[in-house]
Amino acid sequence: MIQRGALVVCKKVILTVYNQNHLRNDWYVDLTGTDFNLFLNTLESELSSYGVEFTCQGNSGITIDVNSYADLLNAVRVSSPADGVTCRCVGHIIGKSQNLDILEDIRRAVNRVAFAPETIPPDDDNRKVCHNCGCGC
pLDDT in tens, 104-136: 999 999 999 999 999 998 776 555 555 555 554
- Contact of 52 with 15, CB cutoff 8 Å: no
> In 3D, which of 122, 111, 121 has the Cα closest to residue 54?
111
- Contact of 56 with 40, CB cutoff 8 Å: yes
pTM above 0.75, yes or no: yes
Buried b (16+ CB within 10 A) or exposed e, 35-74: ebeebbeebbeebeeeebbbebeeeeeeebebeebbbbbb
Residue 30 phi, psi dihedral angles, 5° rounding: -80, 105
Element (H, E) at 106: helix 102-115
Residue type, 137: C
**Helix/strand/coil for 77:** strand
pLDDT in tens, 34-65: 999 999 999 999 999 999 999 999 999 999 99
Provide the pLDDT for residue 122.
Answer: 78
